Amino acid sequence: MIQTTDFSSVLKSGYYVDGQWKETQQHYDVTNPSTKALVAKVAYCSTKEAKEVVDSAAKALTAWQAITAKERAQRLKKWFDLIIANQKELATLLVTEQGKPLAEGMGEVVYAASFVEWFAEEAKRIYGDVIPAHKGDSRIVVIKQPVGVIAAITPWNFPLAMLTRKIAPALAAGCTAVIKPSEETPLSAHALVHLAEMAGIPAGVLNVVSGDAKAIGEVFTQDKRVRKISFTGSTKTGKFLYQACANTMKKMSLELGGNAAFIVFEDADIDAAVEGAMASKYRNTGQTCVCVNRFFVHDAVYENFTQKLAAAVKKLTVGDAFSEGATQGPLINQMAFDKVSNHVKDAIAKGAKVLVGGKPSELGGTFFEPTVLIDATKEMLMSSEETFGPISACYRFNSEEEVIALANDTDFGLSSYFYTQNLSRAWRIAEALECGMVAINEGMLSTEVAPFGGIKDSGIGREGSKYGIEEYLNIKYVLMGS
């Protein structure tokens, strides 16, 4: 029988090191973004605790690597079963600290678990190659080995899934890990390692600290034993960490910000495009790295698409994440709310018109009305920056060449979407868009089976799929002479 747990222990826990929960002198508050109520006081870790978790992960490495791939796979599979069995409890915790509607929280648990299941299978498929050498009977055998201790630094927007997307392949490959979740949402990480322990992941293989991000980051980037950092978060922090790792020449994965284009061609199925737009833009209250930031709509269907989008957005319900029927939660914090408000004000001042929303919600706090703006232009802040809120900005275009230039006119390169019925156009546009992921006639593209990641300022590396585990492996070749 798979055990369930209410996670009450993780709400008052400290930091997790060498299989134990330890306390710190100082604590910080985790609050519910919907109600602003205190959820937990969490151990405020700094340099000392960060060094302690790296020691723990380094100590656990040899024993974890000595376990067969099949056994690692079995423990990961058990972890997957436990995550699924505790779906409601995990979703409740996640929603309490993050604010997304409960139905979305339930969905994130399944999405997070899918990486654990996938990489449980991949653990058994870490193969090398045999290459005939140029001399006699010599052979070159290529083997793949775990990189060692890895550090996972994660954001608040998908606190469960962003973590399993890193930790599952790392563990499958034979690495041990130190984890630093976002200070906004540490409890999801605590709950995941609690379940990992129940699944038989040995002490020291997973360790968690949060608190003073700068001090913890300094230890993770400068310690030579940490051989890889896998970071998901803003481009600004990603660039800082990339530079900081140069000294110790670590492997890095950087999953950073986006500025996705969503193109509606004149031959698109407009109803399908609106449905895709809603899924892409408004889930997680617009706080998704792959969500649309710029809608480019052909002149011939501009009125039709924007009116239908506005009608769909009017039906959204803003509310406390646990309230019946809420589809839009609050923005994560005041800083996020200020950015969204500022982008909307800037766009209106520069000529954008509001079709729906356009202002803070009457609910107060950090709730913002889901918004549709038309007549957006390149000069607006939301054209060049990631808004990260429930705001659709719609731009017009007239030709394929024009829209490709517009869509690629950004430093980011994470995801893009477009709607067309023309197959040859579909390939032409998919290849011309400068980004790591393209969805054609679809609004949602994240899945554990595909290599998720970006180019340009959106980062380096891929997560998920057979490519995801390669990020945690070193290649070595052995020349066998004759």
Question: Contact positions toward ligand NAD, by CB under 6 A?
Answer: 153-158, 162, 180, 182-183, 213-214, 217, 232-234, 237, 240, 255-258, 289, 386, 414, 454, 459
CB nearer to ligand NAD: pick between 52 and 255: 255
Q: How far is the CB of 81 from ligand NAD (least distance, A)?
A: 26
Q: How far is the CB of 320 from ligand NAD (least distance, A)?
A: 22
CB nearer to ligand NAD: pick between 174 and 217: 217
CB nearer to ligand NAD: pick between 416 and 420: 416
Q: How far is the CB of 13 from ligand NAD (least distance, A)?
A: 18
CB nearer to ligand NAD: pick between 256 and 273: 256
Q: What are phi and psi of 249, to 5 degrees?
A: 50, 55
> What is the C-alpha separation between 227 and 215, in angstroms, rounded?
18
CB nearer to ligand NAD: pick between 290 and 313: 290
Q: How far is the CB of 342 from ligand NAD (least distance, A)?
A: 16
Task: Give yes or no for a contact between 140 and 478, defined as CB atoms under 8 angstroms apart.
Answer: yes
Q: How far is the CB of 207 from ligand NAD (least distance, A)?
A: 15
Q: How far is the CB of 289 from ligand NAD (least distance, A)?
A: 3
Residue 16's DSSP bridge partners are 21, 208
CB nearer to ligand NAD: pick between 148 and 257: 257
How many angstroms separate the Cα of 52 from the Cα of each of 9, 18, 71, 288? 22, 9, 27, 33
Q: How far is the CB of 205 from ligand NAD (least distance, A)?
A: 21
CB nearer to ligand NAD: pick between 255 and 448: 255
Q: How far is the CB of 235 from ligand NAD (least distance, A)?
A: 6
> What is the C-alpha separation between 235 and 414, in angstroms, rounded?
11
CB hemisphere CA count around 106 (13 angstroms): 7
- Which of 97, 104, 108, 255 is flagged as catalytic? 255
Q: How far is the CB of 457 from ligand NAD (least distance, A)?
A: 10
CB hemisphere CA count around 75 (13 angstroms): 22
The residue among 394, 419, 410, 448 whose CA lies nearest residue 165 is 448
Task: Give yes or no for a contact between 31 and 198, defined as CB atoms under 8 angstroms apart.
Answer: no
Two tokens, residue 342: 């500022």
CB nearer to ligand NAD: pick between 101 and 155: 155
CB nearer to ligand NAD: pick between 388 and 397: 388
Residue of minimal Cβ distance to ligand NAD: 217
- Residues 6 or more apart whose CB falls under 8 angstroms from that of 470 comprise 144
> What is the C-alpha separation between 162 and 182, in angstroms, rounded?
11
> What is the C-alpha separation between 391 and 446, in angstroms, rounded?
21
Two tokens, residue 224: 């030579």
Q: What are phi and psi of 195, to 5 degrees?
A: -70, -35
- Is 470 a residue of the active site? no
Q: Active-site residues: which are they?
A: 255
